[in-house]
Chain A
Amino acid sequence: MKKHIFLLAALIGLGIGITPAQVQKGSVLIKNATVLTITKGNLESSDVLVQNGIITQVGKNLTAPNGISIIDATGKYLMPGIIDAHSHVGLDVVNEASAPITAEIRMKDVVNPYEIGIYRALAGGVTVSHAMHGSANVIGGQNATLKHRWGSKDPADIIMQDAPRTIKFALGENPTRVHGRGNGIQPRSRMGVEAVIRNGFNEALQYKKAWENYNLAKTQKGNTTTPPAYNERLQTLVDILDGKIIIHCHSYRADEIYMLINVVKDFNIKKLVFQHTNEGFKVAPEIAEYTMGASVFADWWSYKMEVYYSTAYNAAILQKNGALTSINSDSAELIRHLYHEAAKTQRYGGLTDEEALAMITINPAKQLGIEDKVGSIEIGKQADLAIFEGHPLSSYAVPQMTFVDGIKYFDRNSDQLDQRQRVAATEMVEPIYLRANEEAHRCMQDVNSYFEAFQGAFFSEKH
């Protein structure tokens, strides 16, 4: 037994050596809440016990083991932490708009744990966000799945290290404007977008073959073959083809959605989620059959030509056609009330409470490949939790407390009006963001500097 512990300790030690960060995990007993488990129904006046960051018990009249703090949630609602499958909070940079394919780019390199958007998201009950590359490129960078451990100093501490890799794709207006119209290179049309993807994957197949040939030759006696040049960009595309990365594709029109479905069918790629997907409702049966579904806005439309023919009933149509559907924010503002965005599926399409809540919890968890860890209140899952005054789907709901791994990172009652942590004596005039909502939409952020000759046309572009 002792040997085992020793071995375990050694393993943990090794683990620390590999993982750069040590995240905090908490224990807490939340009592007498209406527990919205999402996957196992609603439990009236029930308790949830969290030990060392994991949900260990769910039931009535639970008692707290020694030293575990108790939170009385009588009259309140407890739900799993909200998951945003499309966000740019906690990022210093969003777009590497320098080429139609930039698959080697990693958002994990630009995570900023001090970004205030993380805290504001927590204040809306959001515990996990999918920090995405922007939509300037057909195949953009690899995204980071974040856990909102506010106060962490090391970027690695807010990255969900056990989440699978995902990558951003983008179709339609943004890549054709940036590369075709801005730079005079393919793609200028939606035909070109398809070509960029197909060419990229075919090149990746050749690259893979070259390595296979080399690896085979290496085993031969007297081999003198030199290895192919390593190419991170192509290797990432190979990883997509090998099913190691989930594609999250910015898309709006039905034709381009249908195009990508055909492309991934040809390359035998199974892991594909559509983002925005405003015209997804037109190809809902195809999305349901061939993909991991769609992550959509509740009601945004008309801000650009390719979303003019949208409907707020999109999520309901997708859901009722059997497509896995989530509601996302893509905005530092909307991320603060995703519970309300999900509730709009009741106004537009009459979805049930269970269906609406799943769209901001277990459904996005599935699309990010983390449904075994978060997205519902179940024994064994990570204790990401949110307490609400009022049902989360009521327009009058007010989030009260938010927990990540059993640690409370937001408490409305201890929130200060003035939250300045440091005041610089030299800074006499504090910056005021008067049209902050417009700056909150960041899908096309950082593109301007590449195309200043474009007379600021990108400024008016969102998403």
Chain B
Amino acid sequence: MNRILTSFCATLLALLPLMAVAQIDGEFVKPRNGKFLLKNATVVTVTKGTLTNTSVLLENGKISQIGTGITSSDAEEIDCTGLFIYPGIIDSGTRLGLVEVSSVPETVDYAEIGNVSPNMQALTTVNPNAEAIGVTRVSGVTTVLTVPSGGLFPGTAALINLNGYTPDQMYGGFKAVAMSFPSSGRRGRFDRRSDEDIKKDGEKAMKEASEIWENAKSYLELKNSGAELAYYPEMEQLSKVISGALPLLIEVNAASDILNAIKWVEGKNIKVIFTGVAEGWRVADQLAKSKIPVVTGPVQALPTRASDRYDTPYANAGMLAKAGVKVALRTDEEENVRNLPFHAAFAAAYGLGKEEALKAVTINPAEIFGIADQYGSVEVGKRANLIVSTGDPFETRSQIQHVFIDGYRIPMSNRHIRLYQEFLERSPGLKAN
């Protein structure tokens, strides 16, 4: 009996490797690192013009050569004849990776309790396996700023590249503390406060913000003077903004609030980026004078006032740029970040122009975030974040053929595509088996 059992077990063991192979069909395509030669493309560098019949060599995660007649014996060649190379597209304001299903609170991680929580780290809660990341990157958006929201100082935003298995592998080298600037406007028709109350509430919120700011300043001064301080992570994080180690992303939208924010920032000698800026066009000249860069969007949005011209959100970026404001674009989205190229197209068509719109999702954010040595254009020495497209990536009819992030060749697949592959021709079809 024992012998039978032993031999049975032995047979099973012997079969095991066979079974492991036989149980799983198909092969999963992973992102792949390597040396890639993209041959004979039209290269839209953004910063150095458009180069025809040009090849780009990617190695060690960087763009190592750009030119005609590049050869490499050990690089994997990809024929790009008739195709276009663009730098990876950057979305300067999202909640990507922080949300899985927005109506299911258990999967929503961008808002913490409390009014002052600048020490909350978006990067901590980025889920590298969020379904939306795979869905987004095949659109050509390779890099996003992911931003917490909620209270006055809701947390610290982080730039991430859309490839990697840990947040640290995805981290793109830029962080900033987020602030929701107190609003002095009526928040819509449902807001029944009197004009006087609105004014009072606005002043109260501003006073609170300024008090917190003064506290953080004191914290930094005491710290710099060598005092022993109690554990105070909120002030610790804010003090980094005051010292200039981290920029401040100020979310501000209504025209009067933008003017207040410009005044509030004056004399603080900190790095500031305004975000949202939906009514920026109303105060474009003052914004330009302040020299504060702007991340605006979504472009495909409704006007802020019922009486505004229907296209003001489309035209806002263009009007700001025309006034001399440095502009980057955002979707302010989670699962729909893949639409950023289309938001950029709308901004282009309504006054920004194609060239500036492309910059607003590539080199401008790179410059605003202080990372233009690595991002935002196709140049030798920069990170190998680029896309290969059949045409203008802002056009819906163009297809993105290849995406590279940090030199990794990204599989052009995700759940949306796999469902298409499975269900286009379902089997069995209508009739029963």
A residues adjacent to B (C-beta < 8 A)? 116, 119-120, 123, 281-282, 284-286, 288-289, 299-305, 308-313, 316-317, 320-321, 332-333, 336-337, 340, 343-344, 346-350, 390, 393-398, 415-421, 428-434, 436-437, 439-440, 460-462
- Residue from A116, A123, A303, A432 in contact with B335 in the complex, judged by beta carbons closer than 8 Å: A303
Which residue on chain A has the smallest CB distance to residue B419? Answer: A311
Residues of B within 8 A of A394 (CB): 395, 397
Given contacts A309-B415, A460-B102, contact A419 B307 (CB under 8 A): yes
- Residue from B105, B279, B303, B416 in contact with A312 in the complex, judged by beta carbons closer than 8 Å: B416
Task: Flag whether B121 is at the interface (Cβ < 8 A).
Answer: no
Q: Cβ of A436 and Cβ of B303 under 8 Å apart?
A: yes
Q: Cβ of B102 and Cβ of A434 under 8 Å apart?
A: no
Q: Cβ of B419 and Cβ of A309 under 8 Å apart?
A: yes
Contact with A along B31-51 (1 / 0, CB 8 A): 000000000000000000000
Q: Is the interface of B mostly helix, strand, loop or mixed?
A: loop
B386 vs chain A, min Cβ distance (A): 19
Contact with A along B122-140 (1 / 0, CB 8 A): 0000000001100000000
Residues of A within 8 A of B345 (CB): 395-396
Q: Cβ of A440 and Cβ of B335 under 8 Å apart?
A: no
CA–CA, A454 and B80, complex, Å: 56
Given contacts A317-B423, A431-B188, contact A340 B307 (CB under 8 A): no
Task: Flag whether B311 is at the interface (Cβ < 8 A).
Answer: yes
Residues of B within 8 A of A420 (CB): 307
Q: Cβ of B185 and Cβ of A344 under 8 Å apart?
A: no
Given contacts A302-B101, A304-B102, contact A123 B310 (CB under 8 A): yes
Which residue on chain A has the smallest CB distance to residue B426? Answer: A285
Number of B interface residues at 8 Å Cβ cutoff, please give it.
Answer: 65
Residues of B within 8 A of A320 (CB): 424
Given contacts A302-B132, A311-B420, A313-B420, contact A433 B304 (CB under 8 A): yes
Contact with A along B173-190 (1 / 0, CB 8 A): 000000000010111110
- Residue from A289, A308, A428 in contact with B101 in the complex, judged by beta carbons closer than 8 Å: A308
Residues of B within 8 A of A430 (CB): 186, 305, 307
Residues of A within 8 A of B100 (CB): 302, 308
- The total of interchain contacts (Cβ-Cβ below 8 angstroms) comes to 184
Which residue on chain B has the smallest CB distance to residue A303? Answer: B102
CA–CA, A395 and B424, complex, Å: 26
Q: Cβ of A436 and Cβ of B187 under 8 Å apart?
A: no
CA–CA, A56 and B423, complex, Å: 44
The stretch of B294-302, B364-372, B404-412 that contacts the partner chain: B294-302
Task: Flag whether B355 is at the interface (Cβ < 8 A).
Answer: no
Q: Cβ of A432 and Cβ of B279 under 8 Å apart?
A: yes
Residues of B within 8 A of A311 (CB): 415-417, 419-420, 423
Given contacts A340-B342, A430-B305, A436-B302, contact A313 B397 (CB under 8 A): no
- Residue from B105, B336, B396 in contact with A340 in the complex, judged by beta carbons closer than 8 Å: B396
For A311, A337, A462, the residue with the greatest tally of chain B CB atoms inside 10 Å of its CB is: A311
Task: Flag whether B346 is at the interface (Cβ < 8 A).
Answer: yes
A334 vs chain B, min Cβ distance (A): 8
Interface residues of B in 190-216 (CB under 8 A from A): 191, 195, 198
Task: Flag whether B253 is at the interface (Cβ < 8 A).
Answer: yes
B371 vs chain A, min Cβ distance (A): 27
Q: Cβ of B342 and Cβ of A395 under 8 Å apart?
A: yes
- Residue from B188, B301, B349 in contact with A437 in the complex, judged by beta carbons closer than 8 Å: B301
Contact with A along B263-283 (1 / 0, CB 8 A): 000000000000010110000
For A286, A299, A316, the residue with the greatest tally of chain B CB atoms inside 10 Å of its CB is: A299
Q: Cβ of B189 and Cβ of A299 under 8 Å apart?
A: no
Which residue on chain A has the smallest CB distance to residue B310? Answer: A123
8 CB contacts below 8 A, A to B, read A301-B416, A302-B132, A305-B103, A346-B396, A349-B420, A395-B396, A436-B303, A461-B103
Residues of B within 8 A of A286 (CB): 430
Residues of B within 8 A of A316 (CB): 420, 424
